[in-house]
């Protein structure tokens, strides 16, 4: 009885010390919605913004668009303005469907004119949470915020991450050792609970950017080796892109002994044996410093219900914050 009371008092004291847990919303691969049913994306945005005070930020995992078409970018730009109006920080990775020399030229080049027109870096620089970018383009950038008693750095890297980009990312993370880091990049985890590597479908090396000898590309294993594993303060990696089951989860230990929680989530229409993509699923990651847990929930914007699979709703215990 006394032990239970002491535990309750301890948890209460920790909640007072750290405040509410940090909750991040993940939007995976909205390409199918913008192509054929933008009302589903609108429902996702509405579901999040109406509860915006409880969220620290929205993180889009890439493939915002299906065809990298100006009309798709226009609609995305209009819808995601709602996050600004709700004072909700927003960051995104550019997926393979978001870059290319022209609409439907999926990642044949790193051209990102559409994204940079409707999400101009000049506007991003005016946001209080803006951190910086690799170039004067939105393609690779980071944001800074505080939530759940933790100072955060969320770094978003475009599809087919280059060596130059990883060198920059290494510098940025090293310059912020007191911040916990979430890496957001489009192609990283595979549906077999491993990082993307040789033999997997959808590798960046298989696209035009991977055949361009003037640049380099890195898959999940290479991003881990060259960047993620090097830093004690990198806590999580989130990614989309991969179909199959559309879900993958892996906990790895970095070179400094820190555990890194890596997750794939994708709910577009190509997912195997999945409930209809029209339910508009999105994820909520809750980082609870007081209980040392990361809770993962997947919610339908249409029904408000959780995804029926336990693979999409789970908890990491004994997390070192």
H/E stretch holding 221: helix 220-226
Question: What is the rounded average pLDDT for all residues in the chain?
Answer: 93
The model carries a pTM of 0.93
The stretch 244-266 carries a mean pLDDT of 97
Instruction: Say if 39 falls within a structural domain.
Output: yes
- Per the structure, the complete domain to which residue 101 belongs is given by 24-275
Instruction: Say if 215 falls within a structural domain.
Output: yes
Instruction: Say if 29 falls within a structural domain.
Output: yes
In which order are the strands placed within the sheet that holds 314-316?
Answer: 90-92, 57-60, 22-27, 281-288, 293-300, 314-316
The stretch 193-217 carries a mean pLDDT of 94
Residue 80 — very low, low, confident or very high, per pLDDT cuts 50/70/90?
very high
Instruction: Say if 313 falls within a structural domain.
Output: no
- Are 91 and 131 a contacting pair, CB within 8 Å? no
In the predicted structure, residue 241 carries a pLDDT above the cut 60: yes
Residue 268 — very low, low, confident or very high, per pLDDT cuts 50/70/90?
confident
pLDDT tens sequence across 127-173? 999 999 999 999 999 999 999 999 999 999 999 999 999 999 999 99
Instruction: Say if 34 falls within a structural domain.
Output: yes
Per the model's pLDDT, the better-predicted residue between 9 and 138 turns out to be: 138
Residue 7 — very low, low, confident or very high, per pLDDT cuts 50/70/90?
very low
- Are 138 and 237 a contacting pair, CB within 8 Å? no
CATH at residue 234? 3.60.21.10
Q: How many domains, in total, are found in the chain? A: 1
Instruction: Say if 185 falls within a structural domain.
Output: yes
In the predicted structure, residue 8 carries a pLDDT above the cut 50: no
139: exposed, middle or buried (Cβ count in 10 Å: 0-12, 13-18, 19+): buried
Describe the chain by its helix, strand, coil percentages, rounded to 5. Answer: 30, 25, 45
Instruction: Say if 100 falls within a structural domain.
Output: yes
């Amino acid at each position: 009885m006394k032990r239970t009371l002491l535990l309750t008092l301890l948890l209460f004291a920790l909640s007072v010390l750290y405040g509410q847990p940090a909750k991040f919303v993940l939007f995976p691969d909205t390409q199918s919605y913008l192509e054929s049913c933008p009302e589903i994306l609108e429902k996702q945005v509405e579901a999040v913004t109406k509860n915006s005070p409880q969220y620290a930020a929205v993180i889009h995992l890439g493939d915002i668009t299906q065809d990298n078409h100006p009309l798709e970018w226009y609609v995305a730009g209009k819808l995601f303005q709602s996050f600004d109006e709700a004072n909700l920080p927003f960051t995104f990775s550019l997926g393979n469907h978001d870059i290319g020399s022209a609409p439907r030229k999926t990642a044949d080049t790193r051209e990102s004119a559409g994204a940079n027109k409707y999400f101009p870096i000049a506007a991003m620089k005016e946001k209080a949470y803006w951190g910086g970018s690799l170039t004067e383009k939105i393609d690779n950038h980071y944001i800074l915020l505080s939530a759940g008693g933790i100072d955060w750095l969320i770094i978003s890297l475009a599809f087919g991450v280059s060596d130059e980009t990883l060198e920059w990312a290494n510098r940025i993370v090293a310059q912020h050792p007191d911040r916990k880091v979430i890496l957001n990049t489009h192609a990283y985890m595979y549906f077999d609970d491993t990082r993307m590597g040789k033999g997997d479908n959808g590798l960046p090396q298989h696209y035009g950017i991977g055949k361009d000898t003037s640049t380099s590309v890195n898959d999940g294993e290479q991003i881990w080796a060259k960047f993620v594993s090097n830093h004690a303060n990198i806590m999580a990696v989130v990614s989309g892109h991969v179909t199959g089951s559309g879900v993958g989860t892996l906990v790895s230990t970095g070179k400094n002994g820190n555990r890194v929680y890596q997750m794939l989530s994708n709910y577009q229409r190509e997912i195997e044996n999945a409930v209809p993509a029209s339910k508009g699923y999105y994820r909520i990651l809750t980082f609870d410093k007081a209980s040392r847990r990361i809770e993962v929930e997947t919610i339908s914007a249409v029904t408000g219900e959780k995804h029926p699979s336990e693979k999409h709703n789970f908890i990491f215990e004994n997390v070192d914050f």
